[in-house]
Chains A and B, each alone.
Chain A
Amino acid sequence: MSVTTRPVPQVRIAPPSFKRPLIMTLASLVLGSIFVLLAPADQQTTFVFNLGDTLVALPDWVVSSRLAATGFALAALACSAIAWPINTRRGSLFFPAVGVGFFLVMSFLSWVGADEVLPVTGLLQGSLLLAVPLVFGAMAGVLSERAGVININIEGQLLVGAFLGAVVGSLLANAYLGLLAAPVAGALMGLLLAVFATRYFVDQVVVGVVLNVLAVGLTGFLYSRFLTEDADLWNNPEVLPTIAVPVLSEIPILGPILFDQNVIVYLMYVVVVAVQVALFKTRWGLRLRSVGEHPEAADSVGIRVNRTRFRAVVLAGAVAGLGGAFFTLGSVGAFGREMTAGNGFIALAAVIFGRWNPIGALAAALLFGFADNLQNVLSIIGSPIPSQFLLMLPYVVTILAVVGLVGKVRAPGADGIPFKKS
């Protein structure tokens, strides 16, 4: 028997799957054709871009409905065509997918807006507002889950934030003080989650679900006992004023959308950037991610796993609580029973859809906000699609995401797994 050395064999790689470009192309073709065929050739769609006072007033864009639908559908098809060679090179399909989505939406708008006026900037501004609590909730989800604790409790954290924000804002007759109180309520909720998850090692999904019930019960109880008894005293906070950022708010389109908002929206920008930077550029973030990915490894270099998780979850609660204040102080003023209406779960969906990345979660939250507001706008101008189906959109998209049609999602390695030292 003799043996001879040989070079390391090349790793054989199976050809890439064409599933995703195929889906993109089919979606462009099928949906695009539907929009084009349904769009009336003899009617005009009017896109309006002006909103408020901006430096330059943009003209409205009036275009034949079918022509615009066709143009945008072809653009979507072009984007899906680009996806094929990129897929063969195993490149990222992110931008083609965004392109397909954007142009299909535009094609759709060209159809449904026939003989109507579409306030584009208003649509986007409303989308951002609807997305605000989602973004805060999603950041809370990212913080907590990156540290390895599943956060089903976002809904409850938003709700108590909305509640305490309104109550404190009303009692002290100062919306800004209410804004300070909201994160405290969220943090207390987070504290409960943290205690049960990292001290008693209770199943995190179970605790999250049950704490949501607790939040609904507690706020509902106090609402009936105090807020409805003497609404003027307890539930009558002023709404945070809109603060236009000088100069920036006068940029056409972007200005009114981004820079003519109340302080919670500006805080949202800060929080997103802070979470992104802190997670990936600081010692705190490195350690937080390490306990979420491989707690034993973190433990072996002297990092206190459960303490790190505990703090992350409490912080997450505070962030969500702050977002909850938007429901009361940031928009309608008064607190209402179960007023968060499932936003916490959409935020959770945004976390997953955004692959546990702050920026990704932000994008997902904005997308969901857009779907929601699109439904609002369409119900005003009269839509050929029942509003219920538009309302389903975020949820359908999320299912498609977790099913893997939108690419593989990978949770932090130890997300949801309690860390017990022997």
Chain B
Amino acid sequence: MRLELRGITKRFGDLVANDDISVTFEPGQIHALLGENGAGKSTLMNVLYGLLTPDAGEIYVDGEPVVFGDPAGAIEAGIGMVHQHFMLVPVFSVAENVELGAESVGAFGFLKAQSAADAVRRVSSEYGLEVDPNAIVEDLPVGIQQRVEIIKALTREAECLILDEPTAVLTPQETDELLTIIRGLRDAGKTIVMITHKLREVREAADVITVIRRGRVVAESVSPQTSQSQLAALMVGRDVSLVVDKPEAAVGDEVLSVSELSVYDVTGRALVDSVSFQVRAGEVLCIAGVQGNGQSELVEALVGLHERSSGAVSLGEVRIDGASTKRILDMGVGYVPEDREHDGLVGSFPLAHNMVLDSINEQPWSRFGLIDYAKINKHGADLIEQFDVRARSADVLAATLSGGNKQKVVLAREMSRSLRVLIASQPTRGLDVGSIEFVHRQIIEARQSGVAVIVVSTELDEVYALADRIAVMYAGTIAGIVDPGISRDDLGLLMAGAVAS
């Protein structure tokens, strides 16, 4: 299927998300749509999939103009989409998810018991996508859930498959498997569109690359042989140094010590299984690993946000396991949560209030239980200045900021307190390159001032840029604590469950 976009424009208020974008996807090709976060890739794909209506421009399928009012139209036309956040009903079985919206029914709308499962099996064997049609989706690993999404599209006879950031949640090995599957689909004549900001995968998998920046196509028909730094420059619009300036570490005493820490879920399953490590003043320990291997729970347990844990955590000489989050923060632990919108900020509060969220009970923000808003507002204004938050004033509501600026607010709040440990979870996820650089500089600055830093990241580039040591997590355990000199291949193997020796 030849899919053509001509002059697509989509605005959100004053924001032009897509500005006159034209691009053609050919059958039998893997076409990568490269752009950094916020460039407008997902908007474009949602337009293509009928989830958004464009303000201008047309879509052509095999030369015929089409208009999709909703996803049903796009599906009808043979377009399938694998969303970044899987569109699967967790409590349904694989078969139920696959048939949803395209059920085969008998009399009175009764579902035909086996037809969906058969369809799954048929597509599974045809394209080598193994999955049990009767398994419940929420019980499946992420990689398999993604397969279900692909099967879902294929059973609807999709000729064009759009994959939105398909590797974000996969191990390097799972990524390889996915790329093999995609190549198979391409060879079967499908049109494949891959949306990503990961340069390495683009070069590895794509047949042709289109680069998008700030809602515009800045380069088309780029060859995958183009060098990584050239692609980065196209994507960002200037030369990007992929490494952070990092002075030699001046490592001090051990500050945080974790010994045999385990974290359990409600059913008693160990999500973090007997993990031990130490962090010293003035070093950055990166916790690498694929999403969902216990990193989030580990960090939550460290700051007292997880109820079910066992083992010992010491800050200096003081045990802090079992202590309240308040006490841990007050002892000099800074925490930048993984999901900054959800956990880091109160969207309906002004920035100034957000800046004192975890120190409101301290002087000078309050005295005898009474709040001094004048001092808080002054403080907010100062931090906005200092951390280069792009906002009119400290009165602006946090919800109105962009992702990068939100993260700056969280960082400003945490780093304006006197810290001994800084724990930053996925600190640059979803940020544009400029903000990423800023955040990285701040983290290195904290390290230089003698703070013990823990950074959790799933991005290998970030891990290599920041780490003084790397702890790799796999299935709730630490597969190894290694030197940043380790090769990417070996790191990938560790992330997939190999052990360091």
Footprint of B on A, CB under 8 Å? 1-6, 8-9, 11-17, 281-284, 286-287, 289-290, 293-294, 296-304, 408, 413, 421-422
Give A298 to B267 CA distance when docked, in angstroms.
29
B90 and A413 within 8 A (CB): yes
Known contacts: A282-B110, A287-B101. The answer to whether A300 contacts B475 by CB under 8 A is no
Chain A residues within 8 Å of B476, by CB: 9, 11
CB < 8 Å: which of B70, B73, B87, B109 contacts A282? B109
Residues of chain B lying within 8 A (CB to CB) of residue A13: 267-270
- The residue in chain B whose Cβ has the minimal distance to the Cβ of A282 is B109
Q: Which residues of B contact A16 (CB under 8 A)?
A: 268
List B residues 127-151 near A (Cβ within 8 Å): none
Known: A3-B494, A13-B269. A284 touches B71 (CB 8 A): no
Is B96's beta carbon under 8 Å from chain A?
yes
CA distance in complex: A16, B267 (Å): 8
B98 to chain A, nearest CB (A): 10
Chain A CB within 8 A of B264 CB = yes
Give residues 84-127 of B contacting A (CB, 8 Å): 85-92, 96-97, 99-103, 105, 108-111
| Nearest Cβ on chain B to A262's Cβ, whole angstroms | 28
Min Cβ gap B374→A in Å is 35
Identify 13 new A-B residue pairs, CB closer than 8 A, beyond the known A12-B269, A294-B87.
Answer: A2-B490, A9-B273, A12-B270, A17-B268, A286-B92, A290-B92, A293-B91, A297-B100, A300-B81, A301-B100, A302-B73, A408-B266, A421-B51
**With known contacts A1-B500, A16-B268, A281-B111, A300–B51 Cβ distance under 8 A:** yes
Closest to A9 in B: B475
A282 near B105 with CB under 8 A, answer: yes
Asked whether B87 lies within 8 Å of A14 as measured between CB atoms, the reply is no
Contact of A301 among B75, B494, B499 (CB under 8 A): B75
Q: A4-B498, A14-B264 are in contact. Are A286 and B111 (CB under 8 A)?
A: yes
Residues of A within 8 A of B51 (CB): 299-300, 421-422
Q: Of all chain A residues, which has the CB nearest B308?
A: A14
The 8 closest A-B pairs by CB, nearest first: A302-B72, A301-B101, A14-B268, A297-B87, A300-B87, A12-B270, A3-B498, A294-B89
Query: Measuring CB to CB, which residues of chain B are less than 8 angstroms from any residue of chain A?
Result: 49, 51-52, 70-73, 75, 81, 83, 85-92, 96-97, 99-103, 105, 108-111, 152, 262, 264, 266-270, 273, 475-477, 480, 482-483, 485-487, 490, 493-494, 497-501
- Give the CA-CA distance A130 to B99 in the complex, in Å: 41
Kindly state the separation between the CA atoms of A228 and B34 in the bound complex, as whole angstroms: 74
Contact B75 A302, beta carbon cutoff 8 Å: yes
Return the chain A residue nearest B113 by Cβ.
Answer: A281
Tell me whether B264 and A293 are in contact (CB under 8 A): no
Cβ A4 vs Cβ B501 within 8 A: yes
In the assembled complex, which residues on chain A have CB atoms less than 8 Å from the CB atom of B90? 293-294, 413
- List 6 contacting pairs A-B, 8 Å CB cutoff, sorted by A: A3-B499, A5-B497, A6-B499, A9-B476, A282-B108, A290-B89
Residues of A within 8 A of B86 (CB): 297
CB contact between A8 and one of B52, B87, B475, B486 (< 8 Å): that residue? B475
Q: How far apart are the CA atoms of A6 and B498 in the complex, in Å?
A: 5
Q: B480 — which chain A residues lie within 8 A by C-beta? A: 3
State which of A6, A293, A296 has its C-beta within 8 Å of the C-beta of B92. A293
- Decide if A297 touches B110 in the complex (CB within 8 Å): no
Given the interface contacts A300-B81, A301-B101, does A293 sit within 8 Å of B270 by beta carbon?
no
* CB pair B498 A5 closer than 8 Å: yes
Contact between A283 and B501, CB atoms less than 8 A apart: no
Known: A8-B475, A301-B102. A283 touches B111 (CB 8 A): yes
Q: Which residue of B lies closest to A291 (CB)?
A: B89
Residues of A within 8 A of B99 (CB): 286
Complex-state Cα separation, A321 to B116, whole angstroms: 37
Most buried by B among A5, A300, A304, A408: A300
For residue B96, which residue of chain A has the nearest CB? A286
Least CB distance from B111 to A in Å reads 6
Question: Which of B103, B483, B493 has a CB less than 8 Å from the CB of A283?
Answer: B103
Q: Which residues of B contact A284 (CB under 8 A)?
A: 109
B88–A4 contact, CB under 8 A? no
Q: How many Å from the CB of A177 to the closest CB on chain B?
A: 28
Q: Cα distance A286–B103 when bound, in Å?
A: 9
Contact A299 B71 (CB under 8 A): yes
Q: A4-B498, A9-B477, A293-B89 are in contact. Are A298 and B100 (CB under 8 A)?
A: yes
Complexed CA–CA distance, A349 and B494 (Å): 50
Query: A154–B281 Cα gap in the complex (Å)?
Result: 60
Identity of the chain A residue whose Cβ is nearest the Cβ of B494 in the assembled complex: A3
* A297-B89 in contact (CB<8A): yes
User: Are B482 and A301 closer than 8 Å at their CB atoms?
Assistant: no
Chain A residue numbers with a CB within 8 Å of B497 are 5-6, 8-9
Distance in Å from the Cβ of A411 to the closest Cβ of chain B? Answer: 11
Residues of B within 8 A of A15 (CB): 268
Question: Which of chain A's residues have a CB closer than 8 A to the CB of B486?
Answer: 1
Q: Tell me, rounded to whole Å, the shortest Cβ–Cβ distance linking A39 to chain B.
A: 41
Contact residues in A for B97 (Cβ distance below 8 Å) = 297
**Once bound together, how far apart are the Cα atoms of A296 and B90, in whole Å?**
12
Q: How far is the CA of A302 from the CA of B105 in the complex (A)?
A: 17
* Set of chain A residues within 8 Å of B71, measured between Cβ atoms: 299-302
The chain A residue sitting closest to B88, CB to CB, is A297
The answer for the CA separation of A283 and B111 in the assembled complex, in Å, is 6
A201 to chain B minimum Cβ distance, whole angstroms, is: 17
Query: Are A11 and B270 CB-contacts (below 8 A) given A4-B498, A301-B100?
Result: yes
- CB B252 to nearest CB in A, in angstroms, measures 26
Q: Which residues on B sit within 8 Å (CB–CB) of A408?
A: 266
Closest to B499 in A: A6
A3 touching B270, Cβ below 8 Å: no
Shortest A10–chain B CB gap in Å is 9
Query: CA of A15 to CA of B308 in the docked complex: distance in angstroms?
Result: 13
Give complex CA distance A313, B481 in Å. Answer: 55
Give the CA-CA distance A294 to B149 in the complex, in Å: 15
Q: How far is the CA of A4 from the CA of B81 in the complex (A)?
A: 37
In the assembled complex, which residues on chain A have CB atoms less than 8 Å from the CB atom of B75? 301-302
The answer for the CA separation of A287 and B111 in the assembled complex, in Å, is 11
Known: A293-B91, A296-B87, A298-B101. A12 touches B52 (CB 8 A): no
Rounded to whole angstroms, the CA-CA distance of A339 and B264 in the bound complex is 49
| B-side contacts of A5, CB under 8 Å | 493, 497-499
- Docked complex Cα distance between A281 and B485 (Å): 57
Closest to A294 in B: B89
How far is it, in angstroms, between the C-alpha of A16 and the C-alpha of B101 when the chains are bound? 39
State in angstroms the CA–CA spacing of A296 and B49 once bound together: 13
Q: B400: shortest Cβ distance to chain A, in Å?
A: 16
Nearest chain A CB to B139 CB, angstrom units? 12
Q: Closest Cβ of chain A: how far from B429's Cβ, in Å?
A: 20
Task: Specify the chain B residue showing the minimal Cβ separation from A302.
Answer: B72
Q: How far is the CA of A145 from the CA of B264 in the complex (A)?
A: 31
Nearest CB of chain A from residue B356's CB, rounded to whole Å? 30
| A301, chain B: closest CB distance, angstroms | 3
Report the bound CA distance from A287 to B92 in whole Å.
11
Inter-chain contact A303/B101, CB cutoff 8 Å: yes
- Of B266, B483, B500, the most chain A CB neighbours within 10 A belong to B500
B155 nearest CB across to chain A (Å): 11
Residues from chain A with a CB closer than 8 A to the CB of B91 are 293, 413
B145 to chain A, nearest CB (A): 12
CB distance from B76 to the nearest CB of A (A): 8
Write out the residue numbers on chain B whose beta carbons fall within 8 Å of the beta carbon of A6. 497-499
Q: Point out the residues of chain A lying under 8 angstroms from B111, CB to CB.
A: 281-283, 286
**Complex CA distance for A301 and B103, rounded to whole angstroms:** 11
Q: CA of A421 to CA of B69 in the docked complex: distance in angstroms?
A: 13
Cα–Cα, bound, A398→B439 (Å): 49
Least Cβ–Cβ distance between B287 and chain A, in angstroms: 18
Q: Please name all residues of chain A whose beta carbon is closer than 8 Å to the beta carbon of B108 when the two chains form the complex.
A: 282
Looking at B88, B100, B152, the one whose CB has the most chain A CB atoms below 10 A away is B100
Residues of A within 8 A of B494 (CB): 3
Cα–Cα distance between A15 and B310 once the two chains are bound (Å) = 14
Cα separation A218 to B72 with both chains bound (whole Å):
42
Given A9-B475, A297-B100, A300-B71, CB of A4 within 8 Å of CB of B499: yes
Chain A residue at minimum C-beta to C-beta distance from B83:
A300
